[in-house]
Structure 1
Amino acid sequence: MTILVTGARGAVATELIALLRQRGLSVRPASSRPSDPSIATCDLTDPATFPAVLAGADSVFLYAEPSHIDAFVKEAVTAGVEHIVLLSSSAVLAPAPETNPLAKSHVDVEHALTAAPIRSTLLRPGAFAGNALAWSWPIKAGVPVSLPYPDSYNDPIHEADLAEAAAAVLADPALGGRAYTLTGPESITCAGQIGILSRVTGHDIAIRKVTREEWKAEMADYVSGPIADALLDWQQSNEGVPTEITTDVERLIGRPGRTFATWAQEHATAFKP
């Protein structure tokens, strides 16, 4: 069995590739910008790259890029692919996901896969623990972290746990063909995550409560327009409201997921001056 892993340079895919190889499975890492000859070319925005990379693949780990998903699915069917595991998002479970900028790309890919004659598995994580790296610059610079909704809850999942869940589904066909909502093991506020980072780095980290417009101005080089507004709306809706935690991660990997504190300890150097 050959497993094509797209987005091979990403945090989840990098861990997944290692896990699959540890299981003795044949893996074909692929990226839109291969860093070395051992990585195949698969640009999900360029259908010309699809035939060669899909040839001989039995399963695929796929990132949610909707621009040419119909062409990708068609080529996967032609190549004889039997199973596609999609890294989607729990944003698709929100009301009217087709009009939600955070969910739109994921729901479009989900629809294309579920309509195809290939078994598909949908992994729907919430917040990634690694999202906290967006705070690394102000923390390292010794300035307060700007938060419009410091008491907004989320469910940070460790990327390594997400990779383990994907590996389990790819290795065991009995687990496939359904959707999984993947959360971290705890619901925690943004301010709570900052507190944990303070403890693991040994430095007090201040929070500056800002308005929506101040936050958008500060983040304009990284996120803007409808995406920024959708992120803010999502944070506002979760302010003071703990996130519902699921058991799907434990079901797939056989143990509780890693806590945000574990992730923070592993990545403490990224936040130190």
Structure 2
Amino acid sequence: MILVTGASGTIGSRLVRLLDAQGVGYKAMSRDPQRVPNGVQGDYDDPESLKRALDGVDTVFLLTAPGFAAKHDLAVLGAGAQLRKVVKVSAIKTGEPDFEVTGAWHLPGEQALATSGLEWTVLRPSSFTTNSLAWVPRIEAGEPIPSPYGNGQSGVVDPADIAEVALAALLTDEHDKQTYTLTGPELLSVPQQVAILGKLLGRPLRTVDVSREQSKKNLLAQGIPEADTGPVLDSFELMRNGGNAVVTDDVSRVLRRSPTTFEQWAQNDEHLKTLAAKV
């Protein structure tokens, strides 16, 4: 029996569909179990609810929110004394110099798994293709797409590929004790992604560079405390300077096929199909 955390999210919702297709038994943890199939109530900050959600479970897909990942990873591990395997979603370059922000989120959970005696797999994905869906309102309004990373490139990865890798790690022992950096097959900047979308949508799209000062204002407007903006802005600058320009073959090695390209993802995304139909 598998417990899927983050079951209503970008990766978790895709993983649930894959488990359904395979006929695998699972429970999907949510604060509101009505939101997800096979839903079970669970709250990372409520140890008793975690124990109830983990009852009868021997395998966990562990996906916790940025900023709270360390605390919540350890809460799940502490509540699951009977567990045999955990597949954890981390972030690219966790634990490496200059990536202290994501390291602070994910490294404690990774380290706890490494010393737990459990079977485990750690997935470190790059930026998601689906992050570009946040641009849809600006595209509809004819406004430029902001690029806080300038021309910095990333190996953007399709969350559906991440979910397939997670499925393989959950259902077989082939990937135990492995850490995978999951990327797409190509390096793309925000302007390059926007150009691809413009071609598919048949409309001219443009980007606008966002300065560090403006990025800070945007973060403050999102409710991020000023004391916390520095590390986030530093990560933007790191990406701007090529710090996330990484492509690996981990997806292809696990799935035995090529990773999905950004253009392939965009051609099949239902939100973008709807947007294209409006042109």
TM over 0.5: yes
Are residues 35 and 223 of structure 1, via their aligned partners in 2, closer, same or farther at CA, if it must alter by over 3 Å?
same
SS of the counterpart of 1:124? strand
The one-letter code matched in structure 2 to 1:95 is P
The one-letter code matched in structure 2 to 1:115 is T
1:218 Cα deviation (Å)?
Answer: 3.7
Calculate the TM-score normalised by the size of structure 2: 0.87
1:256 Cα deviation (Å)?
Answer: 0.6
Structure 1 CA distance for aligned equivalents of residues 78 and 148 of structure 2: 43
- Is 1:137–1:271's contact at 8 Å kept on the other side of the alignment? no
Measured against aligned partners, the alpha-carbon deviations of 1:75-123 in whole angstroms (never above 9, x if no partner) come to 212xx210000011113043164xx223311112112222212111101
Structure 2 CA distance for aligned equivalents of residues 126 and 13 of structure 1: 16
Question: For residue 95 of structure 1, what is the aligned residue in structure 2?
Answer: 97
The one-letter code matched in structure 2 to 1:233 is E
- Is 2:127–2:154's contact at 8 Å kept on the other side of the alignment? yes
SS of the counterpart of 1:185? coil
Question: For residue 29 of structure 1, what is the aligned residue in structure 2?
Answer: 28
SS of the counterpart of 2:71? coil
Measured against aligned partners, the alpha-carbon deviations of 1:127-146 in whole angstroms (never above 9, x if no partner) come to 11111122222222111112
SS of the counterpart of 1:61? strand
Are residues 129 and 47 of structure 1, via their aligned partners in 2, closer, same or farther at CA, if it must alter by over 3 Å?
same
Query: RMSD of the alignment, in Å?
Result: 2.1
Structure 2 CA distance for aligned equivalents of residues 217 and 261 of structure 1: 32
Query: Out of 261, 264, 275, which is 1:262 matched to?
Result: 264
Question: For residue 70 of structure 2, what is the aligned residue in structure 1?
Answer: 66
Question: For residue 114 of structure 1, what is the aligned residue in structure 2?
Answer: 114
1:223 Cα deviation (Å)?
Answer: 7.1
Are residues 176 and 223 of structure 1, via their aligned partners in 2, closer, same or farther at CA, if it must alter by over 3 Å?
farther
Moved more, 44-53 or 216-225: 216-225
The 5 A counterparts of 1:51-200 are 51-64=51-64, 65-77=69-81, 80-95=82-97, 97=99, 100-200=100-200
Are residues 218 and 138 of structure 1, via their aligned partners in 2, closer, same or farther at CA, if it must alter by over 3 Å?
farther
1:220 Cα deviation (Å)?
Answer: 3.7
Moved more, 158-167 or 65-74: 65-74
Structure 2 CA distance for aligned equivalents of residues 206 and 83 of structure 1: 45
Measured against aligned partners, the alpha-carbon deviations of 1:223-243 in whole angstroms (never above 9, x if no partner) come to 7424531331232221xx782
- Is 1:102–1:230's contact at 8 Å kept on the other side of the alignment? no
Calculate the TM-score normalised by the size of structure 1: 0.89
Question: For residue 244 of structure 1, what is the aligned residue in structure 2?
Answer: 246
- Is 1:120–1:176's contact at 8 Å kept on the other side of the alignment? yes
Are residues 57 and 159 of structure 1, via their aligned partners in 2, closer, same or farther at CA, if it must alter by over 3 Å?
same
Are residues 226 and 108 of structure 1, via their aligned partners in 2, closer, same or farther at CA, if it must alter by over 3 Å?
farther
Moved more, 211-220 or 51-60: 211-220
Question: How many residues are paired up?
Answer: 266
Are residues 108 and 270 of structure 1, via their aligned partners in 2, closer, same or farther at CA, if it must alter by over 3 Å?
farther
Question: For residue 18 of structure 1, what is the aligned residue in structure 2?
Answer: 17
1:190 Cα deviation (Å)?
Answer: 1.3
1:209 Cα deviation (Å)?
Answer: 2.2
**Please, which runs of 5 or more residues in structure 1 have no aligned partner?**
none
